[in-house]
Structure formats: C-alpha cells, structure tokens
Amino acid sequence: MSNQSTAGLLDRTIRNLRQGWRTIAGTDYDVEAASDRPDLPEGDLPALRVQMTSCLEGKGGEVSARSRAAALGHVYLALDATGRERFLRLLNDEFGADENAVEAAIGAYRRAGSAETRQEAEAQMRHALEAPRLKLLRQFNDLPDGVKFLVDMRAELLKLVRKDSSLALLEEDLRHLLTSWFDIGFLELRRITWDLSSAALLEKLIAYEAVHAIESWDDLKNRLDSDRRCFAYFHPKMPDEPLIFVEVALVNGLAGNVQALLDEDAPVQDPTKADTAIFYSISNAQQGLAGISFGNFLIKRVAGQLAQEFKGLKTFATLSPIPGFVKWLDSAIADGQQGLLKPAERKALNEAVGRAGGAKGTLKALLSDRSWIDNDLLTQSLKAPLTRLAAHYVFNEKGRGGSRARDPVTHFHLSNGAVVERLNWLGDTSPNGFKQSAGLMINYLYNLDRIDENHEAYTGHGRVAASAEIKANI
C-alpha cells in the first residue's frame, strides 16, 4: 500500500467529513474545542465529557441527536494523534458498563425462582452489561459516512491496543458493532473496470493495493484489461469504499512469476481461451475491519462467477507470497536449528561462495541482500535448499496454538479449502519479494469440488492438503 496515497485519501476524507458534519452540528458545534486544541489537553476533557453525556441523554428529537453526534464526531476529526488517543481513553474508561448495575442484575438472576423471572433477570443483565459507549457509537451510523468514520476509528484504536491493552474493551465494542454491520449478507460484489468505474475508486485501488504495489495508472490499466478481472466487496453504507478486492489474471496453466504476469508489454490474451484463473492479489482495503473476515467468501464467489462467464476455465489457483518465510528462516538460523542444510547443499554453497570448511552463517549472509541473484552459481546452489525449506515452512511450521499454519497467507488459503500446489523459484524478484520470501512464490489450488472437504480437514484437524510435489520436497 502506498503510504503517501493512503494519507492523501485520509486527509481528503477527513476534510469532507468535517465540512459535512459541521453543517449538521449547527449550534452544537464548538469551534474552540474542535479546532484550537488538537492535542485535547487535560483542561478540555470536562467539556468533552459533558458533550459525550449529552449524546447519551438523547434530549430532543432525531434531528437534535444527529446534531450532537455530528458535533462530537467533528471534535474527534479535528484532533491530532495525541488528542484522538485521549478522546478514546475517555470513552473507554468512563463510559463502560455500570458495575453496580451489573452486580445487581447478576444477583437478581441468581435469586430468580421461576423461568419467567429468570428470563426477565437475564434481559436485565444483558441490558446492564451493554456499555453506554455502544449507544453513543451507534449514533454515528445515521450520519453521512458515519460507518466509515467508525471503521477508521477502530483502525486508530487497533494501533493503540497493540501498545496498551487497557483500551481493549472499547476496541471489542467497536469490533462487535462492525461485525454485525458487515455480515456477508449485507455486502455487494462488484466488478471494477477501467472504463466504467470512477476515477476516485480507481485511485483507491492504487492506494489500497497491499500485495504488489501499483506503480502507475498504466500499471492499473494493465491489471484491468480484457484478460484480467478485479472484484471487490462493498457495503451499502460505504458504497464508494472497497472493503476487500481481488485481482485475477485469465491465463493458460499455472503462473509462476508475478513480474511476467504483470508485464505491461506482454500481449493481451483472449480470455475465452484461458483455462486457468490466477488470483494474484487479495487486499484488505479497510484496516479498521481487521479480524472481520470476508476474504474466504470473496474467492469462492469470484471463482463461481468466473466459471459461469468463461466455460473454458478448469483451474482456479493463486500466485501468492510467503510473507513469513525469511523471518522464520532467520529465526531458525539464529536459534541454531540443526539440519537446515543437507551436506550436499552445504557443499554446493561452499563451492559457490569460494569457501573451504563449514558454511556456518553463509545462508543468512547470502539472504541479507539481493546480490546473489546476479551470480548463476549461487542462484542454482540456493534453489534446492530454499525451495525445500519453504515447503517445510508452509507444510509443517505452526503458529497460534499449534493448530494453524504459521504463515498468515498459508493459513488464509488453507482455511478457505485450498491445496498447497506448487512452489515457484524466483517467482517474485522485487525487493519485497526477496525480503519476505527469498523470491519464492506459491500456488494454492482451489478445487471447487473439494473446498469444503479440505476446509474441514484443516480447521477441524489441522491437516494440510498438499500436492505430491510439495510433500516430496519436505
């Protein structure tokens, strides 16, 4: 993702929101609080506390409620990073559930003598457990771009929670709200095209692309040509904001190199003659929706749609990065793991670098930069061990709880029911490709008839579906 492009989009969004919400806020707008003190110093917190409480009291009609919510949102948008953190801390610390009310509700439930009384007590307990800030946050849903505002607020909050878990309750409340609002049943799948999609939307694709950076408008146009497809999910409350999008190339056979796949000078293929759909980039566009997954639905939905449009498509696969491979390998080397290199591999590396004796430290040193790619002997000497180690990493290395693949992209595709099909040597020769995975890429195969079976085997039992080629390389 282009940080500069993303920052520009964010600045523009904030300006538009502030202007629109200033009008809605009317007399509830406080110029001094919203504009003159972006760091929200301690002396301004009492006024903000009153403003939040006023939103919760709900005096007046719907118009008044919208006005107060807009005024409060306008204050938040005018704050800098320090001010936003103080705003969120106030919301987290002082507008949670009433402990006394919760204790009273628990007591009433325990004393309930009949089913009817217990049901009433349970309803009372649910009401007591709901933090007042949830009611406040819901008010933004009725404002123009209010849902996008909350998505961006959670993105800000997630960064803070990584440093300070005391804000986790507010983050959990926001995640709960957004999970219910972004149910897959509410989302619309749309194709993005060069000719029919707005320039603003195309600009967002450039900014949000997180796998293979879009270098120019010509690069984007190439990715949207007749032998390519791009699909995205949208929410009715965020009609101009892609939530997640996937880029697809219609080709013949499995693609093994992303630079060749994205070559702007390559001739355009006839998509009706393609036998393979390659999903080469899947990007989550909204950081505030992290952990709210709909990527698995996206691939299956797009595959089904493409199969309907192009009857010749027989294979659906990805060309994916292995983002955690080099990091894992560096850690394994540092920990002194035995057997990383086989004797023959070690000998070949020694000969390639012109060293006698052991190759201790050679592998890490070689991978520290890209210069080895210019040496044919080194490149060939590294191919066997790195391909084998990558196969081991994807197939065997576990992460959280020991039941899921360590690599996040591997976990994503295995959870969706894919098969680890093929490793591609020098599949991504970009700086990022070498940094993440020593230039390796991987094809995950989606057999539409076995997706559910593979999904259950992985999620239920931790079994990884892999081709014979992958298993032979472990």
> Active-site residues: which are they?
320, 413
CB 340 within 8 A of CB 389: yes
Residue appearing with tokens 């890429």 = 441
Q: Which two tokens stand for residue 342?
A: 């086989």
Q: Facing residues of 230 across strands?
A: 247
Burial 48-67 (b: 16+ CB within 10 A, else e): beebbebbeeeeeeeeebbb
Residues found in the chain: 474
Angstrom CA distances, 22 to 75, 90, 134, stand at 10, 22, 23
Virtual CA dihedral for 172, 173, 177, 179, nearest 10 degrees?
10
CA–CA dist 224, 218 (Å, integer):
10
**Interhelix angle for 146-163 vs 62-78, to 10°?**
40
| CB-based contacts of 391, cutoff 8 Å, min separation 6 | 423, 470, 473, 474
**CA nearest neighbour of 412 among 307, 281, 230:** 281
- Would you tell me how many other CB atoms lie within 10 Å of the CB of residue 303? 20
CA–CA dist 76, 19 (Å, integer):
13
